[in-house]
Amino acid sequence: MTKIAASELILNPDGSIYHLNLKPEHLATNIIFVGDQNRVPIVTKHFDSIEFDIQKREFRTITGTYKGKRITVISTGIGPDNIDIVINELDALVNIDLETSTIKKDFTQLNIVRIGTSGSLQSDIPVDSFVLAKYGLGLDGVIHSYDCEHILNAEFEDAFIKHTNWSPRKARPYIVENSKELEDRLVSDKVFLGCTATAVGFYGPQGRVLRLPIEDPSLNNKIDNFEFNGTKITNLEMETSAIYGLAKLLGHNACSMNAIIANRANGTFSPNPYKPVEELIIYTLDKLAL
């Protein structure tokens, strides 16, 4: 079997994967992503027990058990570029033999759930509610570095490009669907389904203006008003589409859950933004433990 070059599969001197500093035994197959490293212990304070805790750069990992289910919680930091690192390295931990640098014959599938905060773009999705992304709309371009056309929805993409008069100088927007298996585990009458848009940055890419003019000042309004076959863009953040795209390409399950702390359509903000986040954490843990 072909050996992967050391320049491609980079390991630390102790044999752990380069950025995450993890070894295969440190990882559960049920994984929760959070952005903020400080949110990892906020999730794992609910665990029955902790078996492993490590941090390298912005990537903090804690593995333990919750109601008998082994779960790993990882902070990814901000943005789709970090997601590219995290998902590729997690897949390597379970599907590549790190001692021989060869791909394992038996495939291990991961369940990945993102818990994030976001602002709603639609007036009927109130603050303090939960949104489960049925689709990820990628404005970031990361997935185009891979052979990806077979997982994308070109019709959906073309409709968005036409509606927004998308600049050809930007990366082509892409659409990836979530894992139906995870959606079925996480959905309930408490959860709104929709399409989560993923921006490549926080300021200009999300329409914020400080000192720099932006390419399309009306883009946010176009995004708010877009609809395809009954699906609207419900919220905007910076990770979901890359998670969906890379997970699907690698054969893993992924689903993104967001606590809505602001509603841009009606100008409201949660009176206590920590409350819906805490509620979403417990909700997600309980669903994964079933």
**pLDDT tens per residue across span 148-188:** 999 999 999 999 999 999 999 999 999 999 999 999 999 99
DSSP 8-state class, residue 4: P
Picking from 245, 288, 238, 236, the residue whose alpha carbon sits closest to that of residue 265 is: 236
If the chain, 290 residues long, is cut into consecutive pieces of 10 residues, what is the mean pLDDT of each piece?
94 98 98 97 98 97 98 97 98 98 97 94 93 97 97 98 98 98 95 96 94 96 95 94 98 97 90 95 96
DSSP state of 90: H
Please check whether residue 179 is in contact with residue 254, taking contact to mean a CB–CB distance below 8 angstroms.
yes
- Put residue 207 in one of left, alpha, beta given phi > 0 → left and psi -120 to 50 → alpha: left
pLDDT at 265: 85
pLDDT for res 183: 98
Extended beta strands in the chain, E state: 30-34, 49-56, 59-66, 69-75, 96-97, 102-103, 111-120, 130-138, 174-177, 191-198, 227-228, 231-237, 253-263, 268-269
Position 119 scores a pLDDT of: 87
In 3D space, the residue among 206, 265, 215, 274 whose CA is nearest the CA of residue 236 turns out to be 206
Q: For residue 246, give Cα distances in angstroms to 63, 151, 228, 238, 276.
A: 22, 10, 23, 14, 28
